[in-house]
Amino acid sequence: MLKITPYMGPLVVIVSIAGLWFPILGYFMLLVFAAIFLIAPFRGRWFCGNLCPRGSFMDFWVGRISGKRKIPKVLKSYWIRIPLFMLMMVFMGYRLMNTQGLVNQIGMILVIMCLTTSSIALILGVTIAPRTWCTFCPMGTLQSIIGVNKYPLLVDIDKCIKCYKCEKVCPMHLNIVEITHNPDCIKCGRCIDICPKDALSFGKSTKNS
């Protein structure tokens, strides 16, 4: 992860809370969306593990009080994630069309969206695991689809001793050893840092199978 990653968390709190009084802060969400669309085609969910304010907040703040249970596999299902993404886009689009282009109203809609999703993420983060929301986050799902085979995590089988330390530190609870590449890998690099045999690395993009 980047050196600034642990310090990104307060931004989501500022937008969610201060934004209720200063709606213009909601436009920060547009910067997030722009970054996602610029990065995902080349590095998949790299944004989630390095620049996402909510992800940082969940990892380094909520992680201190989280139950740290196993994330339910059902939440990773695209049967849940795709409908949720479509529902959120339709709802937000409908709300935005009724703003008549007023700057503060648009900003407030973005603030409310940030506050609502962050509240859900907080509840799930405390009761289950910090990155529970991230497993079915609509923006995370979009990134995993756009950058499905980009900047994959690779495992050198000859070096791997299957100590599973990588899976213990993975915030997304991925099966790293058995599945050498997963589109929901957020490229945080914690598994690489902890591997005692240097068996993990990020490689070049792979072609769609």
175-185 tens-digit pLDDT: 988 766 788 99
Whether pLDDT at 5 is above 80:
yes
| Residue 159 within a domain | no
Domain of residue 20, residue span: 5-146
* Domain tally, the chain: 1
Q: Is residue 165 included in any domain, yes or no? A: no
Chain segment 24-62, per-residue pLDDT in tens: 999 999 999 999 999 999 999 999 999 999 999 999 999
pLDDT tens-place string over residues 79-133: 999 999 999 889 888 888 887 768 899 999 999 999 999 999 999 999 999 999 9
Q: Answer yes or no: is 185 within a domain.
A: no
In the chain the first and final C-alpha atoms are separated, in Å, by 28
If you search the block for the tokens 């886009």, which residue do you land on?
A: 89
Per-residue pLDDT tens digits for 121-150:
999 999 999 999 999 999 999 999 999 889
Does any domain span residue 77? yes
Amino acid symbol at 56: S
In Å, how far are 124, 133, 173 from 148, measured between CA atoms?
26, 19, 18
Q: Which candidate, 4, 111, 96, 86, places its Cα nearest to that of 52?
A: 4
Look at residue 63 and tell me if it is in a domain. yes
Does any domain span residue 179?
Answer: no
Task: Please report, for residues 74, 77, 149, 159, 205, the alpha-carbon distance to residue 209 in angstroms, rounded to integers and kept in the order given.
Answer: 25, 20, 9, 26, 12
Instruction: Assign 202 to helix, strand or coil.
Output: strand
Asked if the structure places residue 188 within a domain, the reply is: no
Q: How confident is the model at residue 209 (pLDDT cuts 50, 70, 90)?
A: very low
Structure tokens at 151: 């900047």
Count how many Cα atoms sit within 13 Å of the Cα of residue 202 in the half-sphere of its side chain: 18
Domain membership flag for residue 115: yes
Q: What is the pLDDT of residue 180?
A: 64
pLDDT at residue 148 in the model: 85
